[in-house]
């Protein structure tokens, strides 16, 4: 379809409208509109409420975006991610002649992706692997432009890949700016926990590995994972115990040793509190028990 907006070069600009299947609505990320526009200097948009998120890739030129009074600039190679669900969401202006690939999208986890990316990086995102991300973005556009067979699962994967590149941009930013490595330090201790569940794992030891005080480690750990270290470790041990109960013939004593519990009585009490049944009842009944986790 050809745009009719002012300051858009209609000769080289096109967009497509897509209605996702019920299967896509239930399972996937999906595009609803996608276009490749050549904007002329002076283009202006004041976007009211719309029904999706929008992702843009700047092929060339400079655009400015004002979101809730905060102004940011996107240049060649940048991605822009905005939430169009709210009224008076944003204003956009072409500072120079610019070419943008844009896509309105929605679906399962779209809001979660947006919140996580936006909270850390804002509206304009500079990627280390911009070429790769934009190529995945362009693949979706080309599906429509070249009238290929639509594969909703592959389009969902491509959108997820672009958004995942945005998620990792925070790591790139930390490397460039010298931002504290808190998340990296916590992730390293998560790996250690996963491979040392049979050991005591005191917070003092984990905090020391992260080069943090215990108080600061607990606070950052919860920011990164959503759990306190104690709750996270107990959850990990319980999941390991469930797996061992459902696979093989390990005794309770062997499971206790493998999962870091100092006695079978302590293990059984913790298991009953978490799942509402004893370990042996769980083994007989399979994975039908419910889990209660407190943070």
What six digits make up the tokens of 228? Answer: 């306190």
Question: Tens of pLDDT along 74-127?
Answer: 999 999 999 987 665 678 999 999 999 999 999 989 999 999 898 888 899 998
Question: Tens of pLDDT along 202-223?
Answer: 999 999 988 888 998 999 898 8
Q: Which residue has the higher pLDDT, 30 or 84?
A: 30
Share of the chain above pLDDT 90, in %: 62
Range with the lowest mean pLDDT among 70-74, 181-185, 244-248?
A: 181-185
- Predicted TM-score (pTM) of the model is 0.69
CB 215 within 8 A of CB 204: no
Query: What residue ranges in 143-230 does DSSP mark as E strands?
Result: none
Question: Tens of pLDDT along 217-243?
Answer: 999 898 888 899 999 999 999 999 999
- The CA-CA-CA angle for residues 277, 278, 283, to 5°, reads 100
C-alpha separations of 109 from 132, 157, 171, 277 in Å: 22, 12, 21, 33
C-alpha separations of 36 from 11, 55, 58 in Å: 11, 12, 10
- The CA-CA-CA angle for residues 172, 124, 188, to 5°, reads 25
Q: In the prediction, which pLDDT does 177 show?
A: 42
| pLDDT, mean of residues 248-270 | 90
Residue 291: pLDDT band (50, 70, 90) is: low
Question: Tens of pLDDT along 3-17?
Answer: 888 999 999 999 999
In angstroms, rounded to a whole number, what is the distance separating the alpha carbons of residues 189 and 206?
6
């Amino acid at each position: 379809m050809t745009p009719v907006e002012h300051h858009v070069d209609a000769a080289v600009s096109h967009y497509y409208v897509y209605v996702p299947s019920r299967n896509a609505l239930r399972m996937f990320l999906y595009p609803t509109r996608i276009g490749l526009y050549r904007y002329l200097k002076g283009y202006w948009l004041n976007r009211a409420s719309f029904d999706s998120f929008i992702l843009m890739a700047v092929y060339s030129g400079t655009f400015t975006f004002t979101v809730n009074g905060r102004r940011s600039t996107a240049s060649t190679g940048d991605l822009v991610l905005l939430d169009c669900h709210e009224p008076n969401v944003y204003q956009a202006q072409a500072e120079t002649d610019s070419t943008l690939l844009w896509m309105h999208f929605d679906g399962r986890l779209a809001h979660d992706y947006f919140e996580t990316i936006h909270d850390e990086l804002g509206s304009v995102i500079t990627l280390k692997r911009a070429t790769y991300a934009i190529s995945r973005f362009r693949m979706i556009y080309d599906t429509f432009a070249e009238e290929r067979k639509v594969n909703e699962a592959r389009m969902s994967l491509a959108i997820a890949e672009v958004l995942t590149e945005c998620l990792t941009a925070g790591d790139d930013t930390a490397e460039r700016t010298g931002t504290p490595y808190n998340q990296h330090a916590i992730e390293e201790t998560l790996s250690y926990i996963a491979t040392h569940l049979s050991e005591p794992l005191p917070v003092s030891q984990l905090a020391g590995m992260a080069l943090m005080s215990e108080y600061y480690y607990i606070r950052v750990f919860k920011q990164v994972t959503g759990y306190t270290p104690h709750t996270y470790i107990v959850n990990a041990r319980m999941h390991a115990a469930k797996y061992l109960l459902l696979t093989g013939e390990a005794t309770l004593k062997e499971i206790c040793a493998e999962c870091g519990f100092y006695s079978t009585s302590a293990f059984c009490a913790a298991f009953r509190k978490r799942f509402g049944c004893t370990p042996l009842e769980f083994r007989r009944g399979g994975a039908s028990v419910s889990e209660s986790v407190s943070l």
